[in-house]
């Protein structure tokens, strides 16, 4: 389970030294910017800006790629869905496909072959793409008893919208990961509390909300590590979570969820006892060990991010 959100990697970069409040505000503004951008090249520019931030954080890009890896299937099917069902804009490409009895036999054989040898394949997604490509290629030949012929049309707006969605998802995941990888949990908690402070006017318990969010982020990698340990322990007993019938998979998931619930409640109880022993009580005024102050870098990054949305709207980007 390759999830990087919730982890912290100290590298002493300029992003690490930023005030957590400026990082949170900048993250919110950058996320908002992705939803007002109207041109694909502008979105690509924001993605390039995100990559520059990642490089300047001195954190290996491989850590971010591990966080994006679970989304590969989502990104793949997003592109396919947009290409097949978004028929607006200029027609860029058209291909005639035929569904025949021979095609069906070939596809069944490919699916059976995939299920037989997929355990021995390391890069399953690439192998899956190859199988799908072979299936589509087989449909370009109209042999073996015609069932139905149809055209697949690729339009400009479908590709553009697919590019928008993919780029937006990459930016959102990368920026969220960058925040947690460069900010300590305690700093993130204090920063959230400060950013949410204006909501106290309408009686919103900002301290409790910020504490819950920071604890949730902190325990995401911890619980995933525990899940990996349980999966390995079950695998040593002969359980294969990737294979089996639907009924077997349900039983396997239950075998994973029950110990996960027990571990979660135990850790929550230990954390509650530790917080109570240290004098933490919800709603009480607490002092801060470190008082945050904005530096010149914080003001510069805030000016840049605050000016992004008005600039995009004004210049029609």
If you compute the radius of gyration of the chain from its CA atoms, what whole number of angstroms results? 25
Distance CA 207, CA 11 (A): 29
Give the pLDDT mean for 163-186: 88
pLDDT at 262 (0 to 100): 87
Question: Running DSSP on this structure, what letter comes out for residue 140?
Answer: T
Query: Token pair for residue 70?
Result: 């679970």
Distance CA 306, CA 311 (A): 9
Q: How far is CA 87 from the centre of its chain?
A: 28
User: pLDDT tens for residues 206-223?
Assistant: 788 888 887 887 787 778
Identify the residue with better confidence: 125 or 185: 185
Distance CA 103, CA 105 (A): 5
User: pLDDT tens for residues 45-94?
Assistant: 889 999 999 999 888 888 888 778 778 888 888 888 888 788 887 888 88
User: pLDDT tens for residues 7-56?
Assistant: 788 888 899 889 888 999 999 899 888 888 888 888 888 899 999 999 99
**Sign for the pseudo-dihedral over CA of 162, 167, 180, 29:** negative
User: Beta partners for 100?
Assistant: 146
Q: How many CA atoms lie within 13 A of 189 on its CB side?
A: 16
**Overall pTM surpassing 0.85 (yes/no):** no
User: pLDDT tens for residues 231-282?
Assistant: 888 777 777 666 666 677 777 777 788 888 888 888 888 888 888 888 777 7
């Amino acid at each position: 389970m390759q999830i990087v959100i919730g982890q912290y990697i100290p590298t002493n970069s300029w992003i690490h030294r930023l005030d957590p409040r400026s990082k949170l505000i900048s993250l919110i503004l950058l996320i908002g910017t992705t939803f007002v951008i109207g041109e694909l090249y502008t979105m690509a520019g924001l993605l390039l800006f995100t990559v520059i931030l990642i490089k300047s954080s001195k954190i290996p890009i491989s850590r971010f790629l591990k966080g994006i890896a679970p989304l590969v299937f989502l990104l793949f099917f997003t592109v396919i869905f947009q290409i097949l069902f978004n028929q607006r804009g200029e027609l860029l490409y058209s291909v005639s496909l035929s569904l025949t009895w021979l095609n069906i036999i070939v596809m069944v054989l490919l699916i059976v072959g995939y299920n037989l040898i997929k355990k021995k394949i390391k890069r399953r997604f690439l192998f899956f793409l190859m199988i799908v490509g072979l299936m589509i290629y087989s449909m370009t030949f109209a042999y073996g008893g015609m069932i139905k012929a149809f055209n697949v049309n690729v339009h400009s707006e479908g590709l553009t919208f697919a590019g928008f969605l993919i780029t937006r998802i990459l930016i959102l995941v990368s920026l969220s990961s960058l925040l947690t990888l460069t900010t300590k949990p305690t700093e993130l908690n204090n920063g959230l509390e400060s950013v949410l402070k204006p909501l106290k006017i309408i009686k919103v318990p900002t301290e409790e909300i910020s504490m819950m969010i920071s604890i949730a982020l902190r325990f995401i990698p911890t619980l995933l590590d525990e899940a990996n340990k349980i999966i390995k322990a079950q695998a040593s007993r002969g359980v294969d979570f990737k294979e089996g019938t639907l009924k077997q998979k349900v039983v396997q998931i239950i075998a994973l969820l029950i110990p996960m619930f027990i571990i979660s409640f135990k850790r929550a109880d230990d954390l509650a006892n530790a917080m109570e022993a240290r004098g933490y009580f919800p709603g009480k005024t607490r002092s801060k060990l470190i008082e945050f102050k904005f530096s010149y870098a914080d003001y510069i990054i805030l000016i840049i991010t605050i000016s992004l949305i008005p600039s995009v709207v004004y210049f029609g980007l």
